[in-house]
Amino acid sequence: MSFEGGQRVRISGRSHGGHHRTPDYVKGKTGTIVLSHGPFTNPETRAYGHDGLPEQQLYLVALAGDTKDRVYVDVYEHWLEEAE
Amino acid sequence: MHDRGGWATAEPIVREDHELADWEVLMDAIFGALGARGVMNVDELRRGIESMPPEEYERASYYERWLYSVESILEEKGVLDR
């Protein structure tokens, strides 16, 4: 699955015991894809001495919110789900 | 805690840069060399930092965290022993 700019997504709320780059404070939140940064090696395996392949798409996601401040976070594709 | 750089605090955020001590520049260079030689990578560096006991993480400065991580990852790989 890949995502397009403007698409609504939900960041997975699953727990993950090992190293990963999805901050706890964005898990389970919804937002909008801003852009794709392209493919990057997977830090979840690379953190344990592996090559991080296959590469995963990394997206810039703007979290939904009604305040004047907005949280932007980079999230790997396998942490994203389509949202309504 | 590690994914926000620590616990929430009411203390003001220090926004000024500070002069780096020689050992901090050296720490950066050592990690750069280990990465260039393929001995360890930045994701391992981050995992090592995340493995610090929370109170030690809070107490440590930026490059002290790097030092902790490089030592523990290199020990794990059998490059260093204690």
Give the model's pLDDT for residue B3.
Answer: 67
Residue A55 forms part of a structural domain: yes
Of A23, A25, A43, the CB nearest to B43: A43
Q: Cβ–Cβ of B46/A43 closer than 8 Å? A: yes
pLDDT tier, A66 (very low <50, low <70, confident <90, very high otherwise): confident
- Number of independent structural domains in chain B: 1
Which range marks the domain in which residue A45 is found? 8-82
Number of domains in chain A: 1
Residue whose C-alpha is closest to residue A79's, from A36, A35, A34, A15:
A15
What ipTM does this complex have?
A: 0.88
Which pLDDT tens digit goes with each residue over B38-80?
Answer: 999 999 999 999 999 989 998 999 999 999 999 999 999 999 9
Would the pLDDT of B9 be above 90?
A: no
Interchain proximity B47–A48, CB inside 8 Å: yes
CB-closest option in A24, A47, A52 to B47? A47
**Residues contacting residue B47 through CB under 8 Å, at least 6 positions apart:** A18, A19, A47, A48, B69, B73
Peptide bond into B12 cis (omega under 30): no
**Integer Cα distance of B70 and B46 in angstroms:** 10
CATH code assigned at B72: 1.10.472.20
Q: What pLDDT is attached to residue A1?
A: 72
Distance of alpha carbon A7 from alpha carbon A65, whole angstroms: 15
Cα–Cα distance measured from residue A26 to residue A56, given in angstroms and rounded to the nearest whole number:
19
For residue B6, is pLDDT > 70?
no
Residue type (1 letter), A55: E
**pLDDT above 70: residue B13:** yes
Residue A1 is assigned to a structural domain of this protein: no
Which of B1, B2, B4, B43 would best serve as a mutation to test chain A binding (most A beta carbons within 10 A)?
A: B43
pLDDT value of position B18: 86
The domain in which residue B71 lies consists of: 21-82
Task: Report yes or no: A2 and A78 within 8 Å, Cβ to Cβ.
Answer: no
Domain assignment present for residue B16? The answer is no
Give the residue numbers in B contacting A (CB under 8 Å), as ranges. 3-4, 41, 43-44, 46-47, 50, 77
List pLDDT tens digits, range A15-62. 999 999 999 989 999 999 999 999 999 999 999 999 999 999 999 999
Shortest distance between the Cα of A51 and any Cα of chain B, in A, equals 10
Domain CATH number, residue A67: 2.30.30.50
Tell whether B81 is covered by a domain: yes
Contact at CB, A49 and B50, closer than 8 angstroms: no
Domain contains B77:
yes
